């Protein structure tokens, strides 16, 4: 089991809680804090974050596959909703989800690329933050939609002050890759077995140890008991409360508890499946009642469910800690389907293109929001978006994504991206704000309006290194515009988080 290995990554120090919420998330993104254990286990990381909105990504590898062959995404979803809720906080406050509800649209299976979780704050008060989330597969198709209530609470005792300057830290190096980067060794039971023999025989093969899901190998989650009598199913699954599942503290992340509950819910639903049938999970919700220390002892999920009407299965789940205290409860909804009615939907065409990518965001947005108040800051954000979009249109750019105070834009040439960034920087100055920009040119995969690939990550990382008013570019951009009027200042060699080698960067001179 992966979780039997020595844990990698670190939970943040106590002064982390003295930072404004958005700066806590950005400290991870800018490598000013080491990655937490759950990030090194699954590869979950922030993509782009602004006040009240953001995107998180997780590689769509087979490591998250449960018995149905689908990917378990609760940890990605909870990380995104909690992270976005945290961006609304002032120093000394924390948020904890009290509920997480997900509705599923289509089977989500392992494939090349990243799952993308887009989250935004719908409402925030002194007591609760309500967040909405959408999850997309690497092809840009929506696979799930969800919501979460997060409770706002005071950090006790008061955290010590943070360092006067946060500096880049180096991640610890190991002789083997992080778990999510390794080849999957475990083997799922073949889907033909479910279709031919039904769910009971299918799951008995797991109970007997003939097969092992990758999710079990990764997290230690195990099926330990099951029963089906007169249309009522019962099942028990366990998972160790390992430090690998920690994020901001030495307690198991709520998303990991939701993953246990959801995995147990979906797996138990297979007991209803007869030969020639299949099973579609429609929705799952989890309520969280208490924190669970990462002490290595077993969490236990107990499941009970039955078929109601129209082939709909309702499953109730209770998750207990090792002391027998109720830590969470959940409910799953699924439907039995005749296998002949299921038809694989063709994917839209994926094109590989050469593009110039521009990322921007506002410098010091937290301080501006505090100074202007909620209403004043919303007005400035609206004016900022209008000003930037006017320049994107003028320079013939294509807006790929907008998150909070940031933009992600695609251009056909570096010259147009440089012109757009320069004009946008000047346009927002009259609003009393500065933006920073990162630009890179490289090959991407385009499906619809969705862009993926290493070039996207490089451009985002370059933007993260830019200072107030900076337009920071890769050497690729500088080399392509040789002969133009653009002048650049050498900013030296840099390591870009998650990218191989050193990258020489340049800033556009005024």
End-to-end CA distance of the chain: 55
Question: How confident is the model over 215-239, as a mean pLDDT?
Answer: 90
Tell me the C-alpha distance between 503 and 494, whole Å.
5
2-341: what fold? Porin (2.40.160)
pLDDT number for residue 269? 85
Structure tokens at 383: 């004016």
When pLDDT is cut at 50, 70 and 90, the band that residue 2 belongs to is confident
pLDDT number for residue 328? 97
For the chain, domain boundaries: 2-341, 351-508
| Count, residues in the chain | 510
- The alpha helices in 43-165, defined as continuous H runs, are 74-86
DSSP β-bridge partners for residue 317: 303, 330
Predicted confidence (pLDDT) per residue in 154-185, tens digit = 999 999 999 988 888 877 888 888 898 888 88
Q: How far is CA 360 from CA 45, 378, 399, 428, 463, in A?
A: 19, 18, 12, 12, 7
Predicted confidence (pLDDT) per residue in 97-154, tens digit = 999 999 999 888 888 778 889 999 999 999 999 999 999 887 778 899 999 999 999 9
pLDDT number for residue 341? 60
Predicted confidence (pLDDT) per residue in 385-399, tens digit = 888 888 887 888 888
pLDDT at 93 > cutoff 90: yes
pLDDT number for residue 346? 53
- Residue 159's φ and ψ, nearest 5 degrees, are -70, 150
DSSP β-bridge partners for residue 451: 446
When pLDDT is cut at 50, 70 and 90, the band that residue 344 belongs to is low
When pLDDT is cut at 50, 70 and 90, the band that residue 342 belongs to is low
pLDDT at 500 > cutoff 90: no
pLDDT at 498 > cutoff 80: no
Give the chain's mean pLDDT.
88
3-state secondary structure of 335: strand
| Tokens 């479910």, located at residue | 194
pLDDT number for residue 316? 95
Query: H/E element holding 284?
Result: strand 277-288
Predicted confidence (pLDDT) per residue in 45-60, tens digit = 887 778 888 888 888 8
Predicted confidence (pLDDT) per residue in 183-219, tens digit = 888 888 888 888 888 888 888 898 888 999 999 999 9
pLDDT number for residue 339? 66
Report the CATH number of the 351-508 domain: 3.30.70.1230
Predicted confidence (pLDDT) per residue in 441-497, tens digit = 998 888 766 788 889 989 999 998 998 999 999 999 998 888 788 899 999 999 888
């Amino acid at each position: 089991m992966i979780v039997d290995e020595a844990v990698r990554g670190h939970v943040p120090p106590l002064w982390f809680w003295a930072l404004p919420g958005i700066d806590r998330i950005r400290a991870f993104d800018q490598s000013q804090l080491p990655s937490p254990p759950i990030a090194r286990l699954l590869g979950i990381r922030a993509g782009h974050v602004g006040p009240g909105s953001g995107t998180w990504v997780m590689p769509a590898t087979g490591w998250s596959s449960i018995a149905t062959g689908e990917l378990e995404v609760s940890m990605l979803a909870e990380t995104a909703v909690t992270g976005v809720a945290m961006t609304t906080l002032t120093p000394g406050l924390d948020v904890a989800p009290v509920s997480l509800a997900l509705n599923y649209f289509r089977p989500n299976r392992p494939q090349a690329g990243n799952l993308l979780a887009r989250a935004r704050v719908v409402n925030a008060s002194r007591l609760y933050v309500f967040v909405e989330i959408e999850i997309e597969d690497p092809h840009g198709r929506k696979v799930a939609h969800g919501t979460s209530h997060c409770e706002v609470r005071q950090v006790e005792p008061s955290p010590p002050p943070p360092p006067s300057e946060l500096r880049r830290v180096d991640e610890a190096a190991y002789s083997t890759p992080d778990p999510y980067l390794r080849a999957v060794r475990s083997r799922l039971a073949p889907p033909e077995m479910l279709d031919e023999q039904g769910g009971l025989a299918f799951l008995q093969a797991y109970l007997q140890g003939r097969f092992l899901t990758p999710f079990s190998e990764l997290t230690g989650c195990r099926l330990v008991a099951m029963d089906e009598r007169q249309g009522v199913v019962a099942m028990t699954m366990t998972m160790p409360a390992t430090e690998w599942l920690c994020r901001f503290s030495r307690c198991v992340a709520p998303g990991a508890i939701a993953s246990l509950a959801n995995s147990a819910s979906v797996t138990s639903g297979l007991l209803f499946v007869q030969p020639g049938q299949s099973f579609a999970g429609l929705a799952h919700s989890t309520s969280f009642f208490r924190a669970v220390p990462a002490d290595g002892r077993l969490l236990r999920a107990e499941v009970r469910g039955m078929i109601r009407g129209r082939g709909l299965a309702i499953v109730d789940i209770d998750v207990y800690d090792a002391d027998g205290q109720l830590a969470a409860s959940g409910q799953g909804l699924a439907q039995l389907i005749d296998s002949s009615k299921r038809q694989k939907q063709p994917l839209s065409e994926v094109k590989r293109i050469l593009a110039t990518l521009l990322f921007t965001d506002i410098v010091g947005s937290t301080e501006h929001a505090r100074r202007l108040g909620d209403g004043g800051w919303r007005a400035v954000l609206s004016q900022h978006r209008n000003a930037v979009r006017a320049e994107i249109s003028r320079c013939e750019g294509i807006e790929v994504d907008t998150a909070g105070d940031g933009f992600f834009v695609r251009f056909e040439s570096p010259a147009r991206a440089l012109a757009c960034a320069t004009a946008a920087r000047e346009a927002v100055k009259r609003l009393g704000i500065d933006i920073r920009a990162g630009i890179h040119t490289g090959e991407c995969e385009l499906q619809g309006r969705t862009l993926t690939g290493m070039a996207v990550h490089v451009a985002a990382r370059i933007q993260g290194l830019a200072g107030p008013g900076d337009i920071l570019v890769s050497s690729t951009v500088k080399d392509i515009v040789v002969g133009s009027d653009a002048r650049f200042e050498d900013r030296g060699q840099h390591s870009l988080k998650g990218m191989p080698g050193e990258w020489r960067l340049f800033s556009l001179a005024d």
